[in-house]
Amino acid sequence: MKICIIGAGNMGGAVALGLVNSGRYRAEDITLTAGHRESLAQYEPKGFKLSTDNKEAVREAELIMVAVKPATVFPVIDDIAPAIDAEKQCIVCIAAGINPDEFLKHLDAGSEGNATAVTDNRGKADLIYVIPNTGSEIGMG
């Protein structure tokens, strides 16, 4: 499975390390993004794919995790929405306090309606919220 974690900060980084440490995922199948290349330097020796281009990073991912600070979520979604294919990709948000309807509104507006391709009984795109903790890094979260 190809995974993209947008925001390789404390939470995104912990999840990435936890996935690899679990033995179920390989670092080379996980793309980590950050606003600055320096923020990604610690992950280079571990074999992760690294990028500062969120839109490009999500294109080949099957699972997209949005792990940025809550104030940055909507600008990030506005940026990546045109590259999202809701029929082939699952989106997970780990930012606390984000209204799911507002998240989907941003996603749908930027994707020219593609976000509604995968629907539940309410007619909206599936969106998964997760609130992990740093225990995720050691497989205990």
pLDDT tens across 38-61, in order? Answer: 999 999 999 999 999 999 999 999
Radius of gyration of the chain (CA): 14
- Tracing tokens 């903790």 back to the chain, one arrives at 133
97 in the Ramachandran plot: left (φ > 0), alpha (ψ -120 to 50) or beta? left
Digits of tens for pLDDT over the chain (141 positions)?
999 999 999 889 989 999 999 999 999 999 999 999 999 999 999 999 999 999 999 999 999 999 999 999 999 999 999 998 877 888 999 888 888 888 888 887 766 544 443 334 333 456 787 766 655 556 665
The pLDDT score that the predictor gives to residue 20 is: 96
The pLDDT score that the predictor gives to residue 138 is: 62
The pLDDT score that the predictor gives to residue 85 is: 84
- Tracing tokens 């225990």 back to the chain, one arrives at 135
